[in-house]
C-alpha cells in the first residue's frame, strides 16, 4: 500500500488528470451507488477491511476512517 501511495504522490500531472477524467466519467455514467459498489468490491480482498452489520469500515494506517453503507446511502451527522 505504501508503494501505491508513493507512486500516486509522484505521478505525472498529465496522468493524474487522465485518471481523474476516467473516474469522473465513470461516476457521471454510472452514478454514485454503482461507483460505491465497485469501490467496495475492489476493497473486499483487503486484510484491513472491517465489517459489521450495517457499515463497512476501512481504517488506514494514516488514521483515516472511511465508512461505506452497503445497502443504501446513509448520512452520518455529528
Q: What whole-number distance in Å separates Cα of residue 15 and Cα of residue 20?
A: 8
* Domain contains 74: no
pLDDT of the residue at 58: 47
* Domain contains 76: no
Residue whose grid cell is 481523474: 20
Overall average pLDDT of the 33-42 stretch: 76
SS3 content of the chain, % helix, strand, coil (to 5): 50, 15, 35
* Domain contains 78: no
* Domain contains 77: no
Q: What whole-number distance in Å separates Cα of residue 35 and Cα of residue 26?
A: 8
Domain that holds residue 44: 2-69
pLDDT of the residue at 19: 85
More reliable by pLDDT, 25 or 70 = 25
Is residue 8 very low, low, confident or very high in pLDDT (cuts 50, 70, 90)? confident
- 3-state class (DSSP) for residue 17: helix
* Cβ atoms of 75 and 66 closer than 8 Å: no
Amino acid at each position: 500500500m505504501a508503494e501505491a501511495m508513493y507512486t500516486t504522490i509522484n505521478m505525472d500531472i498529465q496522468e493524474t488528470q487522465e485518471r481523474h477524467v476516467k473516474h469522473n466519467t465513470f461516476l457521471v455514467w454510472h452514478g454514485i451507488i454503482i461507483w460505491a459498489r465497485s469501490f467496495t468490491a475492489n476493497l473486499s480482498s483487503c486484510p484491513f477491511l472491517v465489517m459489521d452489520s450495517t457499515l463497512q469500515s476501512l481504517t488506514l494506517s494514516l488514521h483515516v476512517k472511511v465508512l461505506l453503507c452497503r445497502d443504501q446511502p446513509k448520512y452520518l451527522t455529528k
